[in-house]
Amino acid sequence: MNFKAKMFNRKASDPKSKPDQILETLALQAGQNIADIGAGGGYFPLRFAEAVGEKGRVFAVDTNPEFLEFIRDSAKEKGLDNVETVLVTEDSLTLPEKSLDLVFMRNVTHHIPNRVEYFGKLKALLKPEGRIAIIEYRRGGRFSFRRMFGHYVPREIIIEEMSKAGYRLEEDLDFLSEQSFTIFSLKV
Protein backbone atom coordinates (compact mmCIF):
# COMPACT_ATOMS: atom_id res chain seq x y z
CA MET A 1 0.00 0.00 0.00
CA ASN A 2 3.04 2.23 0.43
CA PHE A 3 3.37 2.58 -3.31
CA LYS A 4 -0.12 4.05 -3.47
CA ALA A 5 0.57 6.49 -0.63
CA LYS A 6 3.76 7.54 -2.42
CA MET A 7 1.88 7.91 -5.70
CA PHE A 8 -0.69 10.21 -4.01
CA ASN A 9 2.19 12.27 -2.65
CA ARG A 10 3.97 12.47 -6.01
CA LYS A 11 0.78 13.82 -7.58
CA ALA A 12 -0.01 16.18 -4.70
CA SER A 13 3.51 17.64 -4.67
CA ASP A 14 3.79 17.99 -8.46
CA PRO A 15 4.10 21.69 -9.35
CA LYS A 16 1.16 21.14 -11.76
CA SER A 17 -1.01 20.52 -8.67
CA LYS A 18 0.09 23.96 -7.37
CA PRO A 19 0.59 22.88 -3.75
CA ASP A 20 2.37 26.13 -2.80
CA GLN A 21 -0.49 28.22 -4.16
CA ILE A 22 -2.96 26.03 -2.26
CA LEU A 23 -1.01 26.59 0.98
CA GLU A 24 -0.78 30.32 0.28
CA THR A 25 -4.55 30.52 -0.29
CA LEU A 26 -5.30 28.73 2.97
CA ALA A 27 -3.15 31.28 4.85
CA LEU A 28 -2.65 29.01 7.86
CA GLN A 29 -1.61 30.54 11.17
CA ALA A 30 0.65 29.13 13.86
CA GLY A 31 -1.37 27.31 16.52
CA GLN A 32 -4.32 26.36 14.30
CA ASN A 33 -6.00 22.95 14.34
CA ILE A 34 -6.64 21.31 11.01
CA ALA A 35 -8.28 18.08 9.86
CA ASP A 36 -7.33 16.66 6.47
CA ILE A 37 -10.11 14.22 5.57
CA GLY A 38 -8.94 11.60 3.09
CA ALA A 39 -5.33 12.31 3.98
CA GLY A 40 -3.92 9.68 1.55
CA GLY A 41 -0.10 9.67 1.59
CA GLY A 42 0.01 12.69 3.90
CA TYR A 43 1.65 15.26 1.65
CA PHE A 44 -0.75 18.05 2.65
CA PRO A 45 -1.16 17.15 6.34
CA LEU A 46 2.62 17.23 6.79
CA ARG A 47 2.85 20.62 5.05
CA PHE A 48 0.04 21.83 7.34
CA ALA A 49 1.90 20.50 10.38
CA GLU A 50 4.95 22.58 9.44
CA ALA A 51 2.76 25.65 8.90
CA VAL A 52 0.83 25.50 12.20
CA GLY A 53 3.92 24.70 14.28
CA GLU A 54 4.22 22.90 17.57
CA LYS A 55 1.26 24.71 19.16
CA GLY A 56 -1.01 23.63 16.32
CA ARG A 57 -2.41 20.20 15.59
CA VAL A 58 -3.13 18.30 12.39
CA PHE A 59 -5.55 15.39 12.27
CA ALA A 60 -4.83 13.15 9.30
CA VAL A 61 -8.13 11.33 8.75
CA ASP A 62 -8.59 8.31 6.51
CA THR A 63 -10.51 5.07 6.15
CA ASN A 64 -7.33 3.21 5.28
CA PRO A 65 -5.13 2.22 8.26
CA GLU A 66 -2.11 1.55 6.04
CA PHE A 67 -2.08 5.11 4.73
CA LEU A 68 -2.29 6.33 8.31
CA GLU A 69 0.66 4.18 9.31
CA PHE A 70 2.63 5.60 6.38
CA ILE A 71 1.75 9.14 7.54
CA ARG A 72 2.79 8.40 11.15
CA ASP A 73 6.16 7.09 9.93
CA SER A 74 6.69 10.09 7.63
CA ALA A 75 5.80 12.57 10.42
CA LYS A 76 8.27 10.82 12.74
CA GLU A 77 11.00 10.96 10.10
CA LYS A 78 10.44 14.68 9.72
CA GLY A 79 10.38 15.21 13.49
CA LEU A 80 6.78 16.47 13.42
CA ASP A 81 4.97 15.55 16.62
CA ASN A 82 1.84 17.62 16.03
CA VAL A 83 0.25 15.11 13.63
CA GLU A 84 -2.43 12.73 14.87
CA THR A 85 -3.88 10.01 12.68
CA VAL A 86 -7.59 9.24 12.90
CA LEU A 87 -9.08 6.06 11.47
CA VAL A 88 -12.69 6.52 10.37
CA THR A 89 -15.43 4.66 8.58
CA GLU A 90 -16.92 5.93 5.33
CA ASP A 91 -19.53 8.16 6.94
CA SER A 92 -18.42 8.81 10.50
CA LEU A 93 -15.81 11.10 11.96
CA THR A 94 -15.22 11.69 15.64
CA LEU A 95 -13.11 14.65 16.68
CA PRO A 96 -13.50 17.11 19.56
CA GLU A 97 -16.41 19.56 19.08
CA LYS A 98 -15.64 23.18 18.06
CA SER A 99 -11.94 22.35 17.81
CA LEU A 100 -11.05 22.93 14.15
CA ASP A 101 -9.95 26.05 12.30
CA LEU A 102 -9.95 24.24 8.98
CA VAL A 103 -11.23 21.04 7.42
CA PHE A 104 -9.37 20.26 4.19
CA MET A 105 -10.67 17.72 1.69
CA ARG A 106 -8.72 17.11 -1.52
CA ASN A 107 -9.94 14.61 -4.11
CA VAL A 108 -12.08 12.77 -1.59
CA THR A 109 -15.64 14.15 -1.71
CA HIS A 110 -16.56 11.82 -4.61
CA HIS A 111 -15.94 8.89 -2.22
CA ILE A 112 -18.39 10.15 0.41
CA PRO A 113 -21.97 8.85 0.45
CA ASN A 114 -24.77 11.14 1.75
CA ARG A 115 -22.60 14.22 1.49
CA VAL A 116 -25.15 16.76 2.74
CA GLU A 117 -25.55 14.76 5.95
CA TYR A 118 -21.78 14.25 6.23
CA PHE A 119 -21.00 17.94 5.69
CA GLY A 120 -23.75 18.81 8.17
CA LYS A 121 -22.07 16.71 10.88
CA LEU A 122 -18.74 18.50 10.30
CA LYS A 123 -20.30 21.76 11.52
CA ALA A 124 -20.10 20.57 15.12
CA LEU A 125 -16.32 20.13 14.81
CA LEU A 126 -15.58 23.63 13.53
CA LYS A 127 -14.79 26.66 15.64
CA PRO A 128 -17.33 29.44 14.92
CA GLU A 129 -14.91 31.08 12.46
CA GLY A 130 -13.73 27.73 11.06
CA ARG A 131 -13.59 26.95 7.33
CA ILE A 132 -13.95 23.96 5.04
CA ALA A 133 -11.74 23.87 1.94
CA ILE A 134 -12.77 21.44 -0.79
CA ILE A 135 -10.64 20.56 -3.79
CA GLU A 136 -12.47 18.16 -6.08
CA TYR A 137 -12.08 16.92 -9.63
CA ARG A 138 -14.13 18.56 -12.34
CA ARG A 139 -15.88 16.25 -14.79
CA GLY A 140 -13.04 16.05 -17.35
CA GLY A 141 -13.12 14.90 -20.99
CA ARG A 142 -15.28 12.03 -22.21
CA PHE A 143 -12.49 9.45 -21.94
CA SER A 144 -10.82 10.77 -18.81
CA PHE A 145 -10.44 8.31 -15.93
CA ARG A 146 -12.32 10.56 -13.54
CA ARG A 147 -15.32 10.93 -15.81
CA MET A 148 -15.50 7.25 -16.76
CA PHE A 149 -15.26 6.12 -13.12
CA GLY A 150 -17.31 8.91 -11.57
CA HIS A 151 -14.32 10.29 -9.65
CA TYR A 152 -15.57 13.85 -9.67
CA VAL A 153 -18.25 16.08 -8.19
CA PRO A 154 -19.18 19.17 -10.21
CA ARG A 155 -18.39 22.47 -8.47
CA GLU A 156 -22.07 23.55 -8.63
CA ILE A 157 -23.13 20.38 -6.81
CA ILE A 158 -20.55 20.95 -4.07
CA ILE A 159 -21.76 24.53 -3.59
CA GLU A 160 -25.41 23.40 -3.54
CA GLU A 161 -24.75 20.56 -1.09
CA MET A 162 -22.66 22.75 1.20
CA SER A 163 -25.38 25.39 1.21
CA LYS A 164 -27.99 22.75 2.13
CA ALA A 165 -25.67 21.55 4.91
CA GLY A 166 -25.46 25.08 6.37
CA TYR A 167 -22.35 26.71 4.88
CA ARG A 168 -21.70 29.92 2.99
CA LEU A 169 -19.32 30.07 0.02
CA GLU A 170 -16.37 32.34 0.90
CA GLU A 171 -13.94 31.72 -1.96
CA ASP A 172 -14.29 30.15 -5.39
CA LEU A 173 -10.83 29.67 -6.87
CA ASP A 174 -10.04 28.59 -10.40
CA PHE A 175 -6.26 28.26 -10.55
CA LEU A 176 -6.28 24.44 -10.61
CA SER A 177 -6.55 22.88 -14.06
CA GLU A 178 -8.33 19.63 -13.09
CA GLN A 179 -10.19 20.56 -9.92
CA SER A 180 -12.48 23.14 -8.41
CA PHE A 181 -11.32 24.72 -5.15
CA THR A 182 -13.99 26.20 -2.91
CA ILE A 183 -13.79 27.47 0.66
CA PHE A 184 -16.81 27.70 2.96
CA SER A 185 -17.63 29.12 6.36
CA LEU A 186 -20.58 28.49 8.65
CA LYS A 187 -23.82 30.30 7.80
CA VAL A 188 -24.68 32.59 10.69
Ligand X SMILES: C[S@@+](CC[C@H](N)C(=O)[O-])C[C@H]1O[C@@H](n2cnc3c(N)ncnc32)[C@H](O)[C@@H]1O
Using CB under 6 A, list all residues that contact ligand X: 8, 12, 37-40, 43, 61-64, 67, 88, 90, 106-108, 111-112
Q: Which is nearer to ligand X, 30 or 87 (CB)?
A: 87
Count CB neighbours of 54 within 10 A: 11
Q: Which is nearer to ligand X, 113 or 128 (CB)?
A: 113
- Extended strands (E) in the chain: 33-37, 57-62, 83-87, 100-106, 126-137, 167-173, 179-186
Q: Which is nearer to ligand X, 30 or 41 (CB)?
A: 41
Which residues make Cβ contacts (< 8 Å) with residue 61, sequence separation at least 6? Answer: 35, 36, 37, 38, 39, 85, 86, 88, 93, 95
Give the nearest distance from C-beta 56 to ligand X in angstroms.
19
CA angle 150, 145, 104 (to 5 degrees): 65
Give the nearest distance from C-beta 118 to ligand X in angstroms.
8
Q: Which is nearer to ligand X, 121 or 127 (CB)?
A: 121
Give the nearest distance from C-beta 107 to ligand X in angstroms.
4
H or E element: which one contains 118? helix 115-122
Give the nearest distance from C-beta 188 to ligand X in angstroms.
27
Yes or no: say if 103 and 131 are a contact pair by the CB < 8 Å rule: yes
Q: Which is nearer to ligand X, 13 or 163 (CB)?
A: 13
Q: How far, in Å, CA of 63 to CA of 38, rounded?
A: 7
Give the nearest distance from C-beta 93 to ligand X in angstroms.
7
Indicate the residue whose CB is closest to ligand X.
Answer: 40
CA angle 49, 90, 106 (to 5 degrees): 40
Q: Which is nearer to ligand X, 2 or 30 (CB)?
A: 2
Q: How far, in Å, CA of 150 to CA of 162, rounded?
A: 20
Give the nearest distance from C-beta 42 to ligand X in angstroms.
8
